[in-house]
Amino acid sequence: MAESVDLKVLETKAWRLTFQDGIWDIFFGLLFLGFGFSALANQIFDLGTIIILIPWNIATVLILCLGKKFLTIPRLGFVKFGNKRKKTRKFILIFTTINVAFALFLLILSYIGLSGWFQLNPLLDPLIIGFLVITFPLSIFGFFLDFYRLIFYSILAGLGFFLSELFYPITGSPFDIFLSFFLIGFTIVIIGLIYLIKFLQEYPRIKD
């Protein structure tokens, strides 16, 4: 029994350690940066936001995968987690699917003009949208993944649309959205780089 408890403690430590390399932080920071850059490029080059976001997000996923492969695994080794972690991943996949469907529903409402039914005021609306589409789902991810910094990042990102409303009278569109999500994404990337540098210093590569 004691051995079983020890193994669970070790697995939990190993799981949480996988988030201490800063690569996941950089991943989410780049995603939010991409949202800001896509809004700016969409206005300048008259391209659809999705057309810009797809290659950006693909590159961001590649950075995540390559960072884990060439920086994390050579220092921590490869860990195969138990059924509890597998169930957690399955739950997150289902929750992600529901959340994406809900986000698409909100986008459809905005395109067909029905979102006016839910308008409260110019500052409260972006707070509600940011909470429902960004803060709430990412907080769930952070909680179930034991990646608690993600909860903090989700709050920052959820304020993105609200900040853009504050920037709009000063910068106009699309610099309001760009500046808002650039500041948020850049902050998260910097935090991730700090964690990454500490991780590389603390954990040398495992010799073959």
Nearest 5°: the CA angle 182, 188, 150 is 125
Q: Which two structure tokens, joined as six digits, stand for 5?
A: 């408890």
Q: What is the mean pLDDT of residues 182-188?
A: 96
Amino acid at 60: T
Q: Which two structure tokens, joined as six digits, stand for 195?
A: 């964690």
pLDDT in tens, 55-107: 888 899 899 999 999 999 888 877 666 666 667 667 666 766 666 566 556 55
Whole-Å CA distances, 21 to 9, 90, 102, 201: 20, 24, 32, 11
pLDDT given at position 22: 95
pTM of the model: 0.82
Instruction: Indicate the pLDDT class of residue 29, thresholds 50, 70 and 90.
Output: very high
> Could you give the CA distance from residue 193 to residue 36 in angstroms, rounded to a whole number?
20
pLDDT given at position 138: 85
pLDDT of 2 strictly over 50: no
Q: What is the mean pLDDT of residues 128-135?
A: 83
Q: What is the mean pLDDT of the chain?
A: 80
pLDDT of 205 strictly over 70: yes
Instruction: Indicate the pLDDT class of residue 195, thresholds 50, 70 and 90.
Output: very high
pLDDT given at position 115: 47
pLDDT given at position 174: 79
**Could you write out the DSSP letters of every residue in 93-124?**
HHHHHHHHHHHHHHHHHHHHTGGGGG---TTH
Q: What is the mean pLDDT of residues 40-67?
A: 81
Percent of the chain with pLDDT strictly greater than 90 = 32
pLDDT given at position 57: 84
pLDDT given at position 46: 65
pLDDT in tens, 107-120: 555 544 444 545 55
